[in-house]
Amino acid sequence: MATDAQQACFEAGIKFGSLYHQFAGTPVSPASTRSLEAAMAEAIENQPFCESVDVTIHDDRVADAIDHANGYTELTGSLMDVEMRIDYEGVVVDARMETVDGYPLMELASVAE
């Protein structure tokens, strides 16, 4: 049987997996980043135990990734940072995704009871 802390960490992993794999590949341009950030956060916040999600899609990274005349690129983890808070039975997990050496690294920032 998992502890509440273990379950809270598991829930954070589920939320990140859902966020990343649901939205990776979505067409994005500097003009659409704010609306996509909001849609991503609101979608994941619907899941159980999710208190908050903050998605930041970096306009400069998006602009740099556009390599054709159509004015958009596909969303990847390297274009965004994400922070989320999970509350499972009083255990609060803060987790984040940041690009480290070109790779979107998802990690636990804190676990507190």
- Tens-place pLDDT, residues 14-39: 999 999 999 999 999 999 999 999 99
Residue 60 CB neighbour total at 10 angstroms: 9
Give the CATH number, domain containing residue 84. 3.30.1300.20
Across residues 102-108, what is the average pLDDT?
93
Lowest mean pLDDT among 56-65, 84-93, 96-105: 96-105
**pLDDT value of residue 68:** 86
Q: What is the tally of structural domains in the chain?
A: 1
Q: Is the pLDDT of residue 66 over 90?
A: yes
Domain containing residue 35: 4-112
Global pTM value: 0.93
Residue that the structure tokens 């589920």 belong to: 14
- Report whether 106 belongs to an annotated binding site: yes
- Asked if residue 80 lies in contact with residue 58, where contact means CB atoms within 8 angstroms, the answer is yes
